Structure 1
Amino acid sequence: MPRSTTSTGLVIAVVAALTFGLSGAFAKPLLEAGWSPAAAVTVRSLVGGLVLTPFAAVALRGRWNALWRNRWRIVATGAIGVAATQLTYFAALERVPVGTAILLEYMAPLLLVAVAWARSRRRPQSLVLIGSVVALVGLVLVVAPGSGVALDPVGLLFAVGAMVGCAIYYVVAAAPPNGLPAVALAAFGLLLGAASLALAGVVRLVPFQAPLGDVALFGSPVAWWVPVVVIGVVATAIAYTANIAAAERLGSRLASFAGLLEVVAATFYAWLLLGERLTVPQLLGGGAILVGIACVRAARSDAPTAALPTTLDQTPTGSVPIVPTPAQPA
């Protein structure tokens, strides 16, 4: 992959991280006002999908058959990348500490490296392994998972499920476009994800409450739809489109590592907008994540085919769940 394409992809990935990271700060008022996480994610996905639909229609330019050709990619994005990943993540939150759930979900890049290693039977480049370890250490420092707390095995299983869903999302997002613009994949994937989440709420698979009263946003009362609009437009519509566009340029491995910047961005916004304390270990962790991404990028530049077999290497979500924690763009 040309270096210019990779550089452009990384710039777009940074935009995705910065926009995804806003969701936690703006979702927190909704959750504190009584919204259930599933309801917040459903509305977020619905608003984002509706906002992107007109742009998707323009981008398709009448080539609606592209939707049918990419139907399984759209289904995987909506059903797995948006809905299943969010549901398993929230199920994990009910049983294990937030930091632990975030840490496990964002180990998706390491899962992709391991899958590539197992399938190709070739050890990844040393820079990839070094970058993986450094990024993991940085992630631990940023999210600071609780220690000394008994962990529920079922909760851990749900968190691992979220990690798998996140990895699949990156694989799907990085697949060859096949005539489907990134904005169209984001739009219809989000709408399908919203429908899936709403159905889960209707059948009471997850709690679903959304009181439509005023919420306290940064110390001032505002209408409930104000944070919803910000989350839906910025942290969902723009974020998912940028994330998919970046993944198509970077491939699943590098895109998933760049996705760790969402954790750093969310932590920064929590400090800037919510007044949460930003610690020295978190700052060091953010630096470590950047070093890890740089190592993976350097390895990619030297050996662009070393990531995953053809069917996986070209495809990478985060989604990123929407909760008031350092990790969620989703």
Structure 2
Amino acid sequence: MLRWTDPAATPDALRPCVATFGNFDGVHRGHRVVIGTLLAEAKARGLPAVAVTFDPHPIQVLHPERAPELISPGSLHEQLLEETGIDGLVVVPFTVDYAQQSPEEFILSTFVTGLGVKALIVGADTKGFGRGYTGDVDLIRELGQRHGFDVVVVPDQGNAARWSSSAARERLREGDVAGAAEILGRPHRVVGVVVHGFHRGRELGYPTANLERRSRGVVPADGVYAGWFTRLDLPPDHPDHRLPAAISVGTNPTFDGTERTVEAYCLDRTDLDLYGETVAVDFVEHLRPTLRFDSIEELLDAMAGDVVAAHAVLASA
């Protein structure tokens, strides 16, 4: 997949093309239906498939006070889009000045002049783009007729409100990672570098990998989860590339902690040296809430139960 930031600098090999646009936060199942239509239409026409997205998220620029926490920000977002099989990704720097384009200026400069678009794929609910948030599907159809490109409108799929980034974020805030996975079409992922913590887990016989505070991806509600721990610095065919894990999110109330952390114990492994590695944590199922225990013995009993429960969940995942 080729990536660039200015539609006017589109590589010759990728124009003309079939294109779509959106924020695609989380690249959830609804997004994948649109992108699947993009890929099918591009293949039928013998043209490359190109997606246009924006960085930062437009709401972060125009209304920062109500900007959502992104499910899959930055490079994680781009990786998910690349995995769909598209040929090109235009990541347009979104600024206040850029937002002053009229809807017509946006469509013409980006898709007609920049990409040489032959077909534009949009969801039925596409609206609110361009200055004054006035752009919609009807305008795109009109521009297509005037400027010689086809418009393919993808109907709403099932419950559109259920297949949405906001719905996925709500599930994650509730700790319902299985519900979020139904929307996303995969377990939710958080990516970060393993850093030193308090080493309590190692002292208790359950060494954990602590993710840096600047990890990428929405962190679910406090609790204990079953999931997968992927060592991104290792090749996919390495036996320790992907490991089953019990994951804890919270402040470690038994030890009067105040800093919210994400830490993962790779099941039945005490031999791993993970510091400094870039890793991914995929949340599969919520096991229990974060609890304060009155003794280390009670905590150890709970942790042993978490390991058994995580094994059971992941054996069928």
| Same fold flag (TM > 0.5) | no
Report the structure, 1 or 2, having the larger strand content: 2
Larger-gyration structure (1/2): 2
TM-score, normalization by structure 1 = 0.24
- Structure with the larger helix share: 1
What is the TM-score with the length of structure 2 in the denominator? Answer: 0.25
Determine which structure has greater relative contact order: mean sequence separation of CA pairs < 8 Å that are 6+ residues apart, divided by chain length.
1
